[in-house]
């Protein structure tokens, strides 16, 4: 029997899974379903090289249609999955029933626009089309206001400063967050932004968007030629509402990405269980997506199962590469690593559970060797 694998989602997770299946000897049909009309592309460059103009958008392409044809992977671009019936092994794509033997969900996340008056005047950044539109708009702008103090907000503010704009970064919680590390780096990030000329207003809040700029929580208007909403994303799971899968801020999976018999989830949409702690984690980063894709491909092809990936995350803000690996408890401090103060570590007893590198990639690589996978379960 030739097993038909359907991968819903044509980002880095989906493409990597398809490639890994072929590399592992899978000779059955593979169908890659992508909602966007483009060839599969990588998202990290969108908020960096594509946005700042150092890359033409075409450089972000992961695999061309011809390259996928060479792998005997059928790409259905511009196609949307709308329903899943795991018992019948059927996924509905653009109204048609597509049968599968194994299904991999890699639908990622979608941007969340804040419910504010005039939000239609703000740009978002998630897709290649978003990046192209934003780059075109800010080529004519002098002052950019970014609302949202997560990683994407920091990256956009950094790119805007690199491009020579006046930039304000607005939040409501008073804290800046960084991926899996949460707000533990807030003070460092705030200092980094201020040192690079960003007008940082982490607790100002927002009441609306006008053609003049962003209306702050106190009613004043922060004037801008361009407002960007970087207020987070939600997993693309609405199409799974009637599937019977457990969906809770992502598709809930075991430690090998299995969400149901013959159904797996990988990448930003997936919440994998850590076998050591029993806790589930959803990580929005390319490295994690790649590792999960390789693991699921191994499982589908019957190869030796790969260990559950350790969460890894990195970004670059104002020229500083910030890397994080492991899990982080917001109630525990980050301590300087004895060998290099630009590396921060978090401990649980004698175990090192998380490592952060702040512009210190070599020291970070040494420090992450201390990382322990056996983390006590916290009530």
Instruction: Give pLDDT tens digits along the chain (379 positions).
Output: 689 999 999 999 999 999 999 999 999 999 999 999 999 999 988 988 888 788 899 999 999 999 999 999 999 999 999 999 999 999 999 999 999 999 999 999 999 988 999 999 999 999 999 999 999 998 889 999 999 999 999 999 999 998 899 999 999 999 999 988 999 999 999 999 999 999 999 999 999 999 999 999 999 999 999 999 999 899 999 999 999 999 999 999 999 999 999 999 999 999 999 887 788 889 888 989 999 999 999 999 999 878 877 888 899 999 999 999 988 999 999 999 999 999 999 998 888 999 999 999 999 999 988 775 444 433 3
pLDDT for 129 equals 94
- DSSP letter, residue 174: S
pLDDT for 1 equals 62
20 - beta bridge partners? none
Q: Are 262 and 254 in contact (CB under 8 A)?
A: no
pLDDT for 378 equals 37
Report d(CA 245, CA 264) in Å as an integer: 10
Report d(CA 229, CA 264) in Å as an integer: 31
Q: Are 141 and 115 in contact (CB under 8 A)?
A: no
Report d(CA 211, CA 221) in Å as an integer: 10
CATH superfamily of 113-231: FAD/NAD(P)-binding domain (3.50.50.60)
Alpha carbons within 13 angstroms on the beta-carbon side of residue 318 total 17
Angle value at C-alpha 265, between 263 and 269, nearest 5 degrees: 145
- 174-190: string of b/e by CB count within 10 Å (b at 16+)? ebbbbbbbebbbbebbb
Cβ neighbour number for residue 367 with a 10 Å cutoff:
23
pLDDT for 311 equals 84
Domain 5-110+234-300 has CATH 3.50.50.60: yes
Topology alike, domains 5-110+234-300 and 113-231: yes
pTM of the model: 0.90
pLDDT for 375 equals 45
316 - beta bridge partners? 321
Cβ neighbour number for residue 162 with a 10 Å cutoff:
17
- Each domain of the chain, given as residue ranges in start order, spans 5-110+234-300, 113-231, 329-370
- Burial-class residue 138 by CB neighbours within 10 Å (0-12, 13-18, 19+): buried
């Amino acid at each position: 029997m030739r097993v038909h694998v359907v991968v819903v989602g044509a980002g880095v997770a989906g493409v990597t899974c398809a490639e890994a299946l072929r590399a592992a000897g899978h000779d059955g049909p593979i169908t890659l379903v992508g909602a966007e009309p483009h060839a599969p592309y990588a998202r990290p460059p969108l908020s960096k090289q594509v946005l700042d103009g150092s890359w033409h958008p075409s450089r972000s392409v992961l695999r061309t249609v011809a390259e996928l044809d060479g792998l005997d992977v059928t790409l259905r671009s511009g196609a949307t999955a709308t329903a899943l019936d795991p018992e019948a092994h059927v996924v509905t794509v653009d109204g048609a029933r597509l049968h599968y033997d194994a299904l991999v969900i890699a639908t990622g996340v979608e941007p969340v626009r804040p419910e504010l008056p005039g939000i239609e005047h703000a740009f978002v950044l998630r897709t290649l089309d978003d990046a192209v539109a934003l780059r075109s708009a800010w080529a004519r702008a002098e002052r950019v206001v970014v609302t949202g103090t997560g990683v994407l907000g920091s990256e956009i503010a950094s790119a805007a400063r690199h491009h020579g704009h006046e930039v304000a970064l607005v939040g409501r919680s008073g804290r800046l967050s960084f991926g899996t590390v949460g707000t533990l780096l807030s003070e460092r990030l705030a200092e980094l932004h201020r040192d690079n000329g960003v007008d940082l207003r982490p607790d100002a809040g927002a009441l609306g968007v006008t053609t003049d700029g962003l209306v702050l929580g106190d009613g004043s208007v922060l004037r801008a030629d361009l407002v960007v909403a970087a207020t987070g994303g939600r997993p693309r799971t609405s199409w799974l509402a009637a599937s019977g899968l457990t969906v809770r801020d992502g598709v809930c999976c075991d430690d090998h990405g299995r969400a149901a018999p013959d159904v797996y989830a990988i990448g930003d949409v997936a919440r994998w269980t850590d076998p050591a702690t029993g806790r589930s984690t959803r990580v929005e980063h390319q490295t994690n997506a790649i590792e999960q894709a390789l693991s699921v491909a191994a499982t589908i092809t019957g190869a030796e199962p790969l260990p559950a990936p350790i969460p890894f995350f990195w970004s670059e803000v104002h020229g500083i590469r910030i890397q994080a690996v492991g899990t982080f408890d917001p109630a525990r401090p980050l301590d300087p690593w004895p060998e290099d103060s630009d590396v921060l570590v978090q401990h649980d007893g004698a175990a090192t559970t998380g490592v952060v590198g702040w512009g210190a990639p070599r020291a970070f690589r040494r420090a992450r060797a201390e990382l322990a996978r056996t983390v006590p379960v916290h009530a």
